[in-house]
Structure 1
Amino acid sequence: MTPPNTPGNTPPATPGGRWNDLDRPPLNERALRRALLTPGSLWSSLDVVTSTGSTNTDLAALAARATDTPEGAVLVAEEQTAGRGRLDRAWTAPPRSGLFLSVLLRPGPGVPAERWGWLPLLAGVAVATGLSRAAGVDMSLKWPNDLLVTVDGEERKTGGILAERAGDGSVVLGMGVNVTLRATELPVPTAGSLALANAVCTDRDPLLRAVLRSLEDWYGRWRAAAGDPAASGVQAAYAAGCATLGRTVRAELPGDRSLTGEAVALDGEGRLVLRTATGRREAVGAGDVVHLRGTG
């Protein structure tokens, strides 16, 4: 007969096992579906997997394989072993320590394809808005797709967004957020988590619900405005929450070129407008941006 799980009799931890980390319980898939898959909702399906390489890769493959997959499919992983950020950077975190998910969107013919580039910026606004309310922690955005929190007086990256085309008319939007990552688990010193930013809530179930409801709201506004960033309010909301604007930054551009200047605006295409030391303005649409210390 198996002895009861009294203190001293707790089963040994196993990778991915139920008792691996009692401070990090698994997501409640059934409760999440009940809360989010409601009549009239954008969200059409929600699946939680224990571990996968990349939710973006998996959902894109599903959309390509089953072209009738409805918009609003959500795939959540308790752990990603090959998570990706922009520029193919690796994204790793302990199991059940964060929110790692992808959603399938089909903006449709009502939104011109040239406006789809706003989707990762829209997602940044949605995630920051949802988590600020649900977790009780101030979040800001670093152009184009990083989520920042303040830890010990310093800006730290706690999340990111990755948008990828998934065949004709489809976009897979991936989101990753560190929730309970401890200081000893940080992959780099500049990383952070909601817990390290003193969030009042680190329960991933309500945090995930908040993120998806906020994303549904902002996506609905944007699509109703035919993807117009100004009319939908997305452009103003991003600018209001963007920690990059008003700062002196260095943009690492394709072709081994860099540009330093003050980030002064976000244009109608979602590009970051820099004013250089000579007063010239240049819009940056792709690249890596570094906030320079002691400036701005």
Structure 2
Amino acid sequence: MTPRDEDPAGRWADLDRPPLNATALRRALLRDGGLWRELEVVQRTGSTNSDLVARSVGGKAADGTVLIAEEQTAARGRLDRRWTAPPRSGLFLSVLLEPAGVPVARWGWLPLLTGVAVATALSRTAGVDTALKWPNDLLVTVDGQERKAGGILLERAGDRAVVIGAGINVSLRADELPVPTAASLALAGAAVTDRDPLLRAVLRSLEEWYRRWLAAGGDPVASGLQETYAAGCATLGRTVRAELPGDRSITGEAVALDGDGRLVIATAEGVQEPVGAGDVVHLRPV
């Protein structure tokens, strides 16, 4: 079955999880002068990120394209980690951006920017207190514990473009969680679990933050991104162990983010070591 194939019976098999309204989403989000220029909802695909990267490289997708799937069968996280979720139980989307005028060295801020945009949108729209775990996880609180409700993945799409994917668990029930440390907006007591307004809020927030970052030439300080991310980052101020390739690890207090978006860890030896998202295999609390 191709990503565009319809499955009418399957779409309405779970009345608690109605399909997204692609027509209404386009009407709300696509406008002259706006960032989003094309929006497509597919019923099923392997990975929206893989699809959009391939389209971009093949010249079949342009800046501002949004691809959303009701179900992903081969979704990937950072370091190619796999995850699955029931159809229509979350927001599974990827966007294609061409950050012209921003040095490539600053593109590493885009996953953090996306995290800020998503967390802001969910807090406002769903009434859920959302925190960020560096570098790419979205956390909510369930039964007094922080749990992962979503993740973000950035991939290059040629020399001029990037694809940013986000997966957010919206209506997953406790018996559907892939691991005990996972969560969903519903389990966190969200006031809104209708995916249409949540998706609109996420894409509008992402457009707002992205334009602010572009206008500042990708400068995380001038755009307010570095300060805002640090304020919402649950990792800072905690003792962590960064597991690195080659069985090497760094343990210490996460004290700051540097200008490149790297996490600065202060060790017991008094050394402050920055680690980048691409260098960390796991980041665990101690």
- Normalising by the smaller structure, the TM-score range is over 0.9
Question: Are 1:97 and 2:89 an aligned pair?
Answer: yes
Which of the numbers 44, 68, 73 marks the counterpart of 2:37?
Answer: 44
The answer to whether the aligner puts 1:83 opposite 2:83 as a matched pair is no
Computing the radius of gyration from Cα coordinates, the structure with the larger value is 1
Written as runs of structure 1 = structure 2, the 5 A alignment for 1:46-195 is: 46-66=39-59, 69-108=61-100, 110-195=101-186
- The two structures have a TM-score, normalised by structure 1, of 0.92
Q: Structure 1, residues 117-172: CA drift from partner, whole Å, max 9, x if none?
A: 10001000000011110110000000000000000000000000000000120000
Secondary structure of the corresponding residue to residue 10 of structure 2: coil
Structure 1: 5+ residue stretches without partners: 1-13
Counting matched residue pairs gives 277
3-state DSSP of counterpart to 2:151? strand
> 3-state DSSP class of the match of 1:264?
strand
Residues 240 and 16 of structure 1: CA distance in aligned 2, closer, same or farther (over 3 Å)? farther
| Structure 2 equivalent of residue 255 of structure 1 | 246
Question: Is 1:270 equivalent to 2:261 in the alignment?
Answer: yes
CA offsets per residue over residues 65-123 of structure 1, 9 Å max, x none? 116x3211000000000000001111210000000000000001x10010001000100
Hey, what's the Cα distance between the residues in 2 that align with 1:125 and 1:185? 27
- In 1: Cα distance, 2:241 partner to 2:145 partner: 19
The aligned residue for residue 4 of structure 1 is none
> SS of the counterpart of 2:15?
coil
* Native 8 Å contact 1:80 1:100 kept in 2: yes
TM-score by length of 2: 0.95
Deviations 1:185-222 (A, max 9, x none): 00000000000000000000000000000000000000
SS at structure 2 position matched to 1:17 = helix
2:12·2:19 contact (CA, 8 Å) conserved in 1?
no
What's the CA shift for 1:251? Answer: 0.5
Letter in 1 for 2:234: A
Pairs within 5 Å for 1:181-220: 181-220=172-211
Q: What is the percentage of aligned positions where both structures have the same residue?
A: 73
Distance 2:245 2:121 in 1: 33
Q: 1:16 to 1:270 in 2, by over 3 A?
A: farther
Aligned to 2:3: none
d(CA) in 2 for partners of 1:95 and 1:220? 32
1:26 equivalent in structure 2: 19
2:186 is paired with a residue whose SS is: coil
Task: Please state how far the C-alpha of 1:19 moved relative to its aligned partner.
Answer: 2.9
* 1:43 partner SS: coil
SS where residue 204 of structure 2 aligns? helix
2:285 pairs with one of 283, 288, 291: 291
Q: Deviations over 1:246-285 (max 9, x none)?
A: 0001111122211110000000000000011122110011
Give the distance between the partners of 1:123 and 1:214, measured in 2 at CA: 9
| Structure 1 counterpart of 2:10 | 17
C-alpha RMSD of the superposition: 1.2
Contact 1:16–1:50 under 8 Å retained in 2: no
2:103 alignment partner AA: P
Q: Does 1:35 align with 2:28?
A: yes
Query: Structure 2 CA distance, aligned partners of 1:161 and 1:252?
Result: 20
- The answer (yes or no) to whether the contact 1:273–1:283 under 8 Å persists in 2 is yes
Q: CA separation in 2, counterparts of 1:130 and 1:140?
A: 12
State the alpha-carbon separation in 1 of the partners of residues 204 and 285 from structure 2: 31
Give the partner amino acid of 2:283. Answer: V
